[in-house]
Amino acid sequence: MQTNKEDIEPGAAHVPPQHTGSEMNAVEKIELASEAEAVHFFKTVKERLLDVNRWTEIAGGVMSDFFLTDAEGNLVHRKATSGDHIRIDIPGPGTQTGGGYDWVTIEEIKAQVLDDAEVLSMTVRPSANPLTRGEDTAHFLTDEATSTFQVKCIGRTIYAEEHGRNEVPNTDTESTIDNIRNTFVGWGAKAGFSYPQWKTLVKGLLK
């Protein structure tokens, strides 16, 4: 008998499969005094997840700066929706392709309510710079990579997670400078240097 992925763990099917490069998982959880308290606080956690413009603040200011934009790259101040972009200002030199920034598109936002659990997931993927007509991926990873940010409430326990999949440095752009920069940043991420950033974010979502 085949086991459904959702039978193993709520939200597991929201994370793309790993098939190349490296992967990373940053997970944090808290346990509340009662299920009612957990359900109430989970509303706040979901709001924080979709409030991309506050991610740096939520993480305690010890990470890259994140700015939510619409599909055309215009800054917006609202909850994230599918099709939006996130403009990322990573410490150090940015990409020429991205106008000094790294860019991802919000590929999918999934909400799921089960008998004993609720899950909200947001998957992003490296993208081209929406402010230009260029087709090169404006990110230190290729567009095979994904990051899935997920929060879930199971009984009295609330989880906040980041799952990076298929992380390969983006070294095939038209910009030699970008290729060199992406090699260093991408391999740094592969070596685990991005883990503390995501760990502080998932912790912050649950504070």
Is residue 123 a contact partner of residue 105, using CB atoms and an 8 Å limit?
no
pLDDT(1) > 50? no
How does DSSP assign 164-177, residue by residue? EEEE-B---SS-HH
Provide the pLDDT confidence category of residue 205 given band limits of 50, 70 and 90: very high
Contact partners, residue 207, CB within 8 Å, separation at least 6: 58
What's the predicted TM-score (pTM) here?
A: 0.92
Rounded CA separation 206/184 (Å): 32
Report the 10 Å Cβ neighbour count for 152: 24
Provide the pLDDT confidence category of residue 182 given band limits of 50, 70 and 90: confident
- Share the mean pLDDT of the chain: 92
Rounded CA separation 75/28 (Å): 30
Structural domains of the chain, with CATH: 16-205 (3.30.530)
pLDDT given for residue 189 in this prediction: 66
Is residue 145 a contact partner of residue 127, using CB atoms and an 8 Å limit?
no
Rounded CA separation 182/76 (Å): 27
pLDDT per residue as tens digits for the range 13-60: 999 999 999 999 999 999 999 999 999 999 999 999 999 999 999 999
Closest Cα partner for 194 from 147, 144, 142? Answer: 147
Alpha-carbon torsion angle 95, 150, 65, 198, nearest 10: -90
Is residue 17 a contact partner of residue 146, using CB atoms and an 8 Å limit?
no
pLDDT per residue as tens digits for the range 68-115: 999 999 999 999 999 999 999 998 888 899 999 999 999 999 999 999
Provide the pLDDT confidence category of residue 7 given band limits of 50, 70 and 90: low
Classified as helix, coil or strand, 57 is helix
pLDDT per residue as tens digits for the range 40-49: 999 999 999 9
Residue 112 forms beta bridges with which residues? 119
